[in-house]
A = this chain, B = another copy of it.
Amino acid sequence: MRIALAQFDFPVGAVSANAERIGALIAEARDVHRADVVLFPELAISGYPPEDLLLRPDLLSACEAALARIAAATHGIVAVVGHPESAGAVVFNAASVLRDGAVALTYRKRELPNYAVFDERRYFAPGDAACVFEVDGVSLGLVICEDLWFAEPLASTVALGAQVVLVPNASPFERDKAAQRDTLLAERVGESRRTGEGVAIAYLNVVGGQDCLVFGGASCLAEGDGHGHPAAAAFEDHLLVADYDPATRRFERVSWPVETDEQRASLAYRAIVRGTRDYLHKNGFKQAVLGLSGGVDSALVLAVAADALGADNVLAVRLPSRYTSDLSNDLAVEQARTLGASIETLSIEAPFAGFLETLAPLFVGLPADVTEENLQSRCRGALLMALSNKTGRLLLTTGNKSEYAVGYATIYGDMCGGFAPIKDLYKTEVYALCRWRNAQGDGSVIPEAVIDRAPSAELRENQTDQDSLPPYEMLDAILFRDIELEQSCAEITAAGFDAAIVDHVLRLVRSSEWKRQQSAPGPKVSRRAFDRERRYPITSGRY
């Protein structure tokens, strides 16, 4: 039996386009690959996650109509397609088995995740039944994504005789999740061996960026004796094909590009590149603009943008002030030239002077403070947004996770922009990815001096980040414990950090929530990203 897994991108809300793509892939699986069954990802018709579009009757009826159209055209192959299923007052996260021009049966997801980035109980009612069907004498089962993370759904499917279980997923990328997924598959297959010969699993994941999420693909196959196959290439669209032999209980990969070790070392970078490209392209942008300061954050974002969009679609802008060093200006030019991106220079002195002059009568006798620093950053933001408005380029924001965490960024200034590629990378991770990118085959794309110099916002004379923040190694370690592990101040201090520093850092995190809630989205790569995964109140008495 030949199985095709459609590891493709099905954008949210693009119901007609998704339906067309599904139809074309069904035909390709049948006519080109001679597949017996073709599997599509979770909610392929609506895209995932549709969020509150699921509350719109027009979206639901469009999905229903699309499913009927796809089913009517399905002959000579069995297709399994994910879609929202409206049934009276409730909606199910469903996948339907299409054959002989009709919907043969529909499976309803039983375990609905409602944690981290997931809100499925806001929209869906849980299913309560297993689903098994036959293709060419092989008994196939079907469970959806979160179902696999619990024992019961697979066990009840195996109990109905399933030899191979198809698992459509929409599983957002997160560092180290692949290892968890492999462990989970081995565990479930092992459980199935307690009652029989062991079930085989064909696990399909969607690919593509959707706002603050990136879906990784990396679909995989597991056999009943515990043998696994290498995952399919991550972040790439491909119609994967494998044969399953019920006699040997083995899969044979027919069309299955796999990850190289080199690729596996760069998952986070590739997630960011894919997330950035998809955000721009899906929202109608071909070109980007960003401020290039000569520092490490904007250097990495420029490299990402060039990799995502092509360097000739990226405009870097130097925005010097009286405090900008010659080194910063030189390094920015050097990097843009190396990559082949355009570069322009706009001094912020004229509007900055205009602001100071205008405010002078009200600021008489008041010392300079963060106000003047923020004004410089806001001049830069306004200039970049003017370029964005005038030329139709999307403005990329260059802040990192450490800055978003402690509020070391100017709202309406350097936080301006439509997408924030490195928002979920701590500063120390930014350095590591710069070094990794420079080690790739096309040579050093970020000047070494950018990586080696002391980080500075250059908003006053001789400023460095470490004037107001602890060293980044320490800061990031404290932030990781606070944000990713939800440790208390006492726990972090007990781990060996200075109590006054921990207290200071946690206060900064709490008092910056209002800024984060007005920030641009960026692709999740960590186990706990900001945006929809960490939902803190702004107004908070203590925590």
- For window 203-218 of A, CB contacts with B under 8 Å fall at 209-211
Bound Cα distance from A47 to B55, whole angstroms:
29
The answer to whether A375 has its CB under 8 Å from any CB of chain B is yes
Q: Count A interface residues, CB 8 Å.
A: 89
Interface presence of A254 (CB below 8 A): no
With A385-B378, A412-B416, A519-B518 known as contacts, the answer to whether A537 contacts B211 (CB < 8 A) is yes
| A398-412 near B? 1/0 per residue, CB < 8 Å | 000000000000011
Q: In the complex, which residues of chain B have a beta carbon less than 8 angstroms from the beta carbon of A150? A: none
> Smallest distance from the beta carbon of A459 to chain B beta carbons, Å?
13
A540 lies within 8 A of chain B by Cβ: yes
Given A119-B119, A540-B53, A359-B375 contact (CB < 8 Å): no
Residues in B with CB closer than 8 Å to A115 are 122
A494 within 8 A of B: no
| Given A13-B541, A354-B351, residue A536 in contact with residue B53 (CB < 8 A) | yes
Q: Is the CB of A385 within 8 A of B412?
A: yes
Which of A244-252, A322-330, A361-369 faces chain B? A361-369
Instruction: Give bound CA distance, A50 to B541, whole Å.
Output: 10
Return chain B residues, CB-CB under 8 Å to A416.
412
Given contacts A13-B542, A58-B488, A488-B58, contact A535 B51 (CB under 8 A): yes
A359 cross-chain contacts in B, Cβ below 8 A: 346, 383, 386-387, 390
A149 to chain B, nearest CB (A): 15
Residue numbers in B under 8 Å from A389 (CB-CB): 369-371, 374
Is A121 located at the chain interface by the 8 A CB criterion?
A: yes
Q: Which of A14-22, A175-183, A447-455, A471-479 contacts B (4 or more CB under 8 A)?
A: A14-22
Chain B residue with the shortest CB-CB distance to A350: B354
| A56-B488, A114-B122 known; A350+B346 contact, CB < 8 A | no
Residue A49 is within 8 A (CB to CB) of chain B in the complex: yes
* A59 interface residue per 8 A CB criterion: yes
A362 in complex: contacting residue of B62, B346, B536, CB < 8 Å: B346
Q: How far is the CA of A350 from the CA of B350 in the complex (A)?
A: 9
**Interface contact A369-B390, CB-CB below 8 Å:** yes
Whether A136 sits at the interface, judged by CB under 8 Å, is: no
Q: Does A357 touch B at the CB level, under 8 Å?
A: yes
Contacts of A58 in B (CB 8 A): 486-491, 543
A11 to B541 alpha-carbon distance, docked (Å): 7
Docked Cα-Cα span, A539 to B11, in Å, equals 8
Q: Which residue of chain B is the closest to A394 with respect to CB atoms?
A: B514
Is A352's CB within 8 Å of the partner chain B?
A: yes
> Is A88 engaged at the interface, CB distance under 8 Å to the other chain?
no
B412 and A390 form a contact (CB under 8 A): no
**Quick one: which of A487-532 are within 8 Å of B by CB?**
487-491, 514, 517-521
Whether the Cβ atoms of A543 and B412 lie closer than 8 Å is no
Among B13, B283, B350, B382, point to the contact of A378 (Cβ < 8 A). Answer: B382
Contacts of A12 in B (CB 8 A): 537, 539-541
Q: Which residues of A are at the interface with B, using a C-beta cutoff of 8 A?
A: 11-18, 47, 49-53, 55-59, 62, 114-115, 119, 121-122, 209-211, 278-279, 282-283, 344, 346-348, 350-355, 357-359, 362-363, 366, 369-371, 374-375, 378-379, 381-383, 385-387, 389-390, 411-412, 416, 418, 486-491, 514, 517-521, 534-543
A-B contact pairs, 18 of them (CB 8 A): A13-B537, A15-B541, A50-B537, A52-B536, A53-B536, A53-B543, A57-B488, A58-B490, A115-B122, A119-B535, A283-B538, A346-B359, A351-B379, A352-B354, A354-B355, A362-B387, A369-B390, A378-B381
The 5 tightest CB contacts between A and B, nearest first, are A14-B541, A351-B354, A350-B354, A58-B488, A354-B354
